[in-house]
Structure 1
Amino acid sequence: MARQKRPPDRAYARLDRSERNRIHRGLERGESARSIAADLGRSPSTVCSEVQRHRYVTSPREHRGQPAPSDEALAQSCPGLAKWPRCCNGCAKRRGYGCSRRPRVYYDPRAAQLQADAELSLSRRGIDADEEEAARQIAAIRDGLARGLSPEQMVASGAVTVSVSTVYRWAERGYAGMSNMDLRRKVGYRKRRRSAPERATSHSPRRSHAAFLALGDECAGAWEMDTVEGRRGDRACLLTLLHRPSRLQLLLPMPSKEAGGPEAWLRRLSSALGPGAARRVFALVLTDNGAEFSDERALAAAIGERPGETRLFYCDPGRADQKGGCEKNHVEVRKVFPKGRGGVSLEGVGEADCAAAMSHVNSSPRPSLGGLCPAAAFRAMLGADADALLDALGVEQLPYAEVLMSPEAVNRARRERGEAPLA
């Protein structure tokens, strides 16, 4: 029966494991290189070079696994190794264990595949770009890391044109002195300590999270409200409001986490916008069960809620994930106001400091917005109302080159005002 040949024109030219297994079987049966090559649809030289490159010593034991010596050295050891297949596969003496010649060398398809894969991986290491382009990409990455930007934000901005996974890989391999220590989220997590559950805030059933979800598509345009604490011992905190669709983050200083602070800020923002604009901007607000949000009537009145309607809602107790956008965006806030060892105190943080922080946080590009920054997305969605709110808070939209996601973003503004840096 005629042997079926494989089609010779294939896009993938490397030998695969099945082909190496076929070469091994042919060697064991004593077939010629031409016969094996014809069955594979390869050239005889491909088969010969494959066997010659991937012969390994099996005896003596102290040299086991090493590549075979040169053909000249093998020919002196055994004249049979001077011709095809140049290895001990298929040798009749080897089958009867009657050969005392050393070294013995064999072609092994598994070892050949591992070696070929290692060579391919090594060939792909490094940077696939000329020296000038590689230097530009690395400089842009190091600049972004130094300013506290994530690889996703750098790529979304267009300043870095390689993929996000490539940025992580270059940092892990230590190119240009980078390391995983430069990636804050990759090395910054600690095991979470379990704290006692907080007492649930009493609120009307119509303000439950289930009632919020029942609004359907309206939920997508809501604000998520929470607070951010400072260092241990601080009484001061920040009121945070995240606009879900645009990812805009508001940071508002409060002297303590007590009822009265959030509604005071909401009334102030509503007054700056005017009644009509305040109702359009703060159409829905979702918050948690903290004590600072316990006065539901005052909060609802502050966002312009009218009799018979519900615009303020609460998450279920212990379900911070129900306002996960706010919780996730606190990672960006913590870059500017870090907590714990090496963090900053919020006791001296004022409105001007929060305005500087908001300008940087809301000017960093977001992959979820297609590379837009939250400030630009917020203005595109709400137009003049957005301009009025950002102007009232002193928030500027900064160019990418000026974005700084570290305490230096606030300290730089404080130095320009002649004030001491944050402690």
Structure 2
Amino acid sequence: MTGMTERTRIKMADVLAGRRRGGLLLFFGPAVIASVAYMDPGNYATNIEAGAGYGYRLLWVVLGANLIAMLFQALSARIGIVSGNNLAELSRMHFSKPLTLAMWVVSEIAAMATDLAEFLGGALGLSLLFGWPLIWGMGVTAIVTYAILLFERGGFRPMELVIGALVGIIGASYLIEMFIAPVDWSAALIGLGTPDLPDARALTIAVGVIGATVMPHAIFLHSGLTQDRARSHGIAEKRRIVRFSNFEVIIALAVAGMVNIAMVIMAASAFHQGHASVAEIETAYHTLTPLLGGFAAAAFLTSLIASGVSSSVVGTMAGQMIMQGFIRRRIPIWLRRAITMVPAFVVVLLGVNTTEALVMSQVVLSVALPVPMIALIYFVRHRGVMGEFAVRGPLLWLAILGAGIVLALNFVLLWQSAGLSVPGLPA
């Protein structure tokens, strides 16, 4: 994205040069946009299933996934700021052509799986709220997301403000839910701090939660949002931008993490006792009305619609950046929006259960996730790319550990998909 007023550029330059105090909000935006990926409708599907089926026992998975996401988003932003290139561009510049093409194909599949979840979620929320056929909801979602994407023509600031407003709606909706739902806070605290996987199904849901939380396209996108957002002169100014970025990532991803935790808590408090089989968004909505009242159910759908629309916009932006970075091609926004909508329409026309499609899309994302994670680790430690900003020591090992956990869970998922049981976990 391009476009910034000269007045804003002068203010940012003054902050970086030390001529102006504060100014942190001038640098806010990239992490806010990226954080939307961590509150998309796929999160709703996996978090509802986790909370309804296992109460507060899988909250630690949500917390751990969010911490991993926080680290990788900070590293992604760091690469864009320091190198002036996004992750897809660096991959094309440093890897062989066959490897680059393979990475692009996997990333495009992940982008389509992402958009499936986001687009279906927004359409489903509209369908339930207004009693429309799902196809009508999909049509309205398509129009609204395309209209928001047109804000990009005015530069990144208008887009950041629109996305920020939608994030605010999601957060406010779940804040309302927390006041209405009968939460067992002591059990929630235990669930946050006590790793527990009761059975093989819990493991499958845990992998889905991680796939819905740590998003491949968000890792690619964040590096692109920061690569030319603020002009720096010298190492000291670049270091200041990295510090501002890290602070923004912590705040934005902490908000996203609290929303995800609130989703599980709401599902656990409302459904686990007596409605543990609730695993679909539609069922959750219809069950919420008699349990917590129409206001709670409406807040739930409002947040789902805001989530679907905002994350679908961000997913389209990421898809453009991935294609342009890997193969130097850019297609019109309307065409990419149309292409990425096709799987959602196919799913609906085939009669596939929408929540099941959402959960499976998150599993696909989890399998695709090692591509940007491994590439990111490779480049953040590369002195030729990062210079003195190359990551070393404990931070690098934490990133390797995070990627290792995701890779191990992916292997277990494939093991389960082959019909094999996981030792030590009941079926």
TM-score tier, shorter chain, comes to under 0.3
Give the number of the structure whose residues are more often helix, by fraction: 2
Higher strand share: 1
TM-score by length of 1: 0.21
Larger radius of gyration: 1
TM-score, length-normalised on structure 2? Answer: 0.21
